[in-house]
Amino acid sequence: MTVAIIQFGGSNCDNDVLHVLQDVLGIDAELVWYKEEKLDDYEAAVIPGGFSYGDYLRSGAIASRTPIMDAVRKMANDGKPVMGICNGFQILTESGLLDGALTTNSYPKFKCEWSYLKVENTNTPFTSMYEKGQVIRIPIAHKDGKYYNDDASLQQLEDDNQVVFRYVDESGNPNEAVNPNGSRNNIAGITNKTGNVLGMMPHPERASEKIIGSDDGLLMFKSMLIGQK
């Protein structure tokens, strides 16, 4: 399996993802600059976190219009796994690959802290190694992480089981107190209808080794690996 890690001006979690894939899991992964126009040689892609283009206009808006996103869109349409983390999630919504939008946190400050997530859907290339309802510990680091969608679209996401991760307490209960950004329905991550495109605000690459506080995120990358063998 060969994974493309997409780099934009302002990406800053690219090498974190590379470390997890290459050094922790032994996956063949490469950093790919945004000016590339083809990704035919890769079996999966990860759009990492950061502040692409300084978050000008809107977070992810400029990056979503770069040449490489046409290649990412082709990968998605071909059914290959595409994961967007934090700024990557913002880029996926701005490019239309995922529904909804990421807006400024209800309390409009940058938040960097640990969060608990409930795994709502294990029928995806990224979550097959989790158990449905499992509570995992993954950190967040964002200012524009509030997931928004209108009522009808939100209900459609829920009905189609596209909500993959939800902010919860340690016991798995979603409530306002544990919602770090004001996301509707405590949503922390969603997929497209076919399940091969995942966007999430928390950072699984920062929770992939016990030495840094949690390895709960490692199963996402392992699931992706197993699904492509």
Report, as an integer, the average pLDDT of 83-99.
98
Domain hosting 45: range is: 2-227
**Catalytic site residues?**
86, 203, 205
Within 10 angstroms of residue 20's Cβ, the number of other Cβ atoms is 24
User: What is the distance between the alpha carbons of residues 83 and 93, in angstroms, rounded to a whole number?
Assistant: 12
User: What is the distance between the alpha carbons of residues 124 and 130, in angstroms, rounded to a whole number?
Assistant: 10
103-114 residue pLDDT tens: 999 999 999 999
Q: Is residue 187 predicted with pLDDT exceeding 80?
A: yes
Select from 120, 82, 126, 84 the least CA-distant residue to 223: 126
What is the tally of structural domains in the chain? 1
Ramachandran angles phi, psi of 31, nearest 5°: -80, 130
pTM, to two decimals: 0.95
Helices (H) and strands (E) in the chain, counts: 5, 11
Q: Is residue 149 predicted with pLDDT exceeding 90?
A: yes
pLDDT value of residue 135: 98
Answer for the pair 38, 65: CB distance below 8 angstroms, yes or no. Answer: no
8-57 residue pLDDT tens: 999 999 999 999 999 999 999 999 999 999 999 999 999 999 999 888 88
Q: Is residue 72 predicted with pLDDT exceeding 90?
A: yes
- For residue 127, give the CATH number of its domain: 3.40.50.880
Q: Is residue 160 predicted with pLDDT exceeding 80?
A: yes
User: What is the distance between the alpha carbons of residues 17 and 222, in angstroms, rounded to a whole number?
Assistant: 13
Report, as an integer, the average pLDDT of 218-225.
94
Beta strands 111-119 and 163-168 are antiparallel
Beta strands 111-119 and 135-142 are antiparallel
Strand boundaries in the chain, DSSP class E:
2-7, 28-33, 44-47, 82-85, 101-103, 111-119, 135-142, 146-148, 163-168, 187-191, 197-200
Q: Which pLDDT band, with edges at 50, 70 and 90, does 226 fall under?
A: confident
Beta strands 44-47 and 82-85 are parallel
